[in-house]
Amino acid sequence: MKYNLMIRMSQSFIKHLGGLKMSENIERLIQQFPLLKNMRQYQPIDWLNPEFGMSAEIPFTQAEVFDVAARFKRFAPYLAKAFPETQKTNGQLVSPLIEIDKMQACLTRTTDTEIPGKIYLKADSMLPISGSIKSRGGIYEVLKFAEHVAMTETNLTYSDNYAILATPKYHKLFAGYGIMVGSTGNLGLSIGMAAASFGFKTTVHMSVDARQWKKDLLRANGVTVVEHNDSVSVAIAQGRKEAATDPHTYFIDDEGSKDLFLGYSAAGIEIQKQLADDGIYPDVDHPVFVYLPAGVGGSPSGVSFGLQMMMPEGIYPVFAEPTHVPSVTIGMMTHLYDKLSVKDLGIDGKTLADGLAVPRSSRIAGRVMRSLLYSAHTFNDDDIYRYLTMLADTQSIYIEPSAAAGFSALVPTINGFKNRVVLKNATHIVWATGGKLVPNDEMQRYYDKGRALLAEPQRELVR
């Protein structure tokens, strides 16, 4: 009864949004969800999802995950030809799962907390083409659109060798179409580089948070970059509006794309095999905690969905967000999802974790994750630089700041887990979402900042 009442109250707020300013409802909203008060004060919080594990209708199926995997397989010959770096994996976009025992020992010392089980890094930071998790969803949606155009306008069949799509004939065909997206950086990189390889006229609307080197790299690959001195939500809105004026331009919507979401889900198939190769089979007695940075929420939600389609027991997805941009957490907590922006709560939306600087969550993410998300945590920006440097020092693995966010949720999750007995059998997977393409001088600045912060006296990395 309490659960149903909570949903009804949240739905009433949604109805109010049509006729009232959000500011008129904020105090009432905070009374219903007290953690919002802490979040407005930029205090790190740990939120356990009360609906985790409940039965729920999900608008996607396991069959759709397998359809994504099949399309990636059809495009493997094209990717191997267009992007030679993928030849060593026969055109497959995969990343390693790395046990990071030295980092685990360092975390134990630094946080003064015993971490039972094993810690792995899912190194999407090493993915080919864009060097980030966006090589999954972003590139997938480009591939699906290219397939649609080719099958609509030529005699391409599903059984053909898709390497033919890299020929001048198809390049000329694709040049008559455009692809557009709004992004803080990594999504724009993945879509821009993939779309440009086909010959699509490609435009990326970049938010104020985007790193300059990402804009430069896109332009070097023939992509038009439109810069906005505003948030990614504004960049997305402008891209959507501009694309709507041209019937030959396809807009990839980071706030609500089904294909983006499903592209990420194929990671579930990949990691199921990697875990099995290490003798890990998730179930209630062998929990697997997956720590995922969340910006708009599409990629961590897609990954979580895919994992739980492949391994229905023992998967505990945990989202990590900056204290200044907890958009997915507030959306899920209140059941207002994309209807509520962090700025509606007076939160400024500013973070150095550029990939997570999204003030309003995906229209899909929260609703799909309603019963799939175990918990969410928020962190201070300085912490991700510390973790970045610790990972480099212990494992010689370099990632970008937002990719280190998952480490911030590890100890709070362990401390809050009620079934202490099974923790000794736990597997912890920190999802490193980007870093491969970061220029050396930029990465050095990240590292140096983390080194300086670690040198500060009596700094605690755990709350």
* Residue 205, phi then psi, degrees to nearest 5: -85, 120
Say yes or no to pLDDT of 437 above 50. Answer: yes
Average pLDDT (343-370) is: 92
Average pLDDT (313-331) is: 98
Highest mean pLDDT among 202-211, 346-355, 399-408: 399-408
35 burial (CB, 10 Å; 0-12 / 13-18 / 19+) is middle
Give the model's confidence band at 197: pLDDT under 50 very low, under 70 low, under 90 confident, else very high: very high
Give the model's confidence band at 209: pLDDT under 50 very low, under 70 low, under 90 confident, else very high: confident
On average, the pLDDT of the chain sits at 92
85 burial (CB, 10 Å; 0-12 / 13-18 / 19+) is exposed
CB 279 within 8 A of CB 272: no
Highest mean pLDDT among 40-49, 231-240, 358-367: 40-49
Say yes or no to pLDDT of 162 above 90. Answer: yes
State pLDDT tens for residues 83-111: 999 999 999 999 999 999 999 999 999 99
- Please give the pLDDT value at position 142: 98
Considering only residues 150 and 24, tell me which one the structure prediction assigns the higher pLDDT: 150
Domains of the chain: 94-127+266-454 (3.40.50.1100), 132-260 (3.40.50.1100)
Say yes or no to pLDDT of 463 above 70. Answer: no
Average pLDDT (137-161) is: 97
- Percent of the chain exceeding pLDDT 70 equals 94
Average pLDDT (293-303) is: 96
CB 358 within 8 A of CB 325: yes
Say yes or no to pLDDT of 171 above 90. Answer: yes
Say yes or no to pLDDT of 3 above 80. Answer: no
- Please give the pLDDT value at position 55: 87
State pLDDT tens for residues 374-394: 999 999 999 999 999 999 999
The residue behind tokens 């979040």 is 39
Average pLDDT (402-426) is: 97
- Please give the pLDDT value at position 17: 46
Task: Provide the whole-model pTM.
Answer: 0.92
- In the three-class reduction of DSSP (H, G, I as helix; E, B as strand; rest coil), residue 343 is classed as helix
Average pLDDT (265-272) is: 98
> What are the C-alpha distances in Å from 43 to residues 30, 93, 319, 356, 378?
15, 37, 16, 17, 8
- Distance separating the N- and C-terminal Cα atoms of the chain: 33
- Percent of the chain exceeding pLDDT 90 equals 82
- Per-residue tokens: 339: 């209807």
- Please give the pLDDT value at position 22: 52
- Please give the pLDDT value at position 183: 86
